[in-house]
Amino acid sequence: MKTGNYGKTIINNSSIKCIFNLEEDNILSLSENIDLNQKEQIEIKNLKRGESLIIAENNKIIIKIISNELENNIIEGTLNENDKK
């Protein structure tokens, strides 16, 4: 977002925002465009793999995404020959 308005435009035009773990400087940049309190900023910094902060209008909730074994293998790049069929 620091390099232009494209990121800001995308964020502002998204009705549902899915925020994953970010580093502190990116959280501060995001906070310039989305109303995040200090607790939410800390939660974003501490999100684990598979967790996300979902924002829809004034509603905010942290979710945990649970993937199955095939999805885990795709994400981790550990597909074996049987999975590819």
* Distance (Å) of CA 29 to CA 34, 64, 65, 66: 9, 24, 25, 28
Task: Write out pLDDT tens, residues 5-25.
Answer: 777 888 888 899 999 999 999
Q: Which two tokens stand for residue 60?
A: 């905010």
Domain boundaries, the chain: 6-84
**Model confidence pLDDT, tens digit, residues 26-65:** 999 999 888 899 999 999 999 999 999 999 988 999 999 9
Q: Residue 24: which H helix or E strand, with range?
A: helix 24-31
- Reduced to 3 states (helix: H, G, I; strand: E, B; else coil), residue 36 is coil
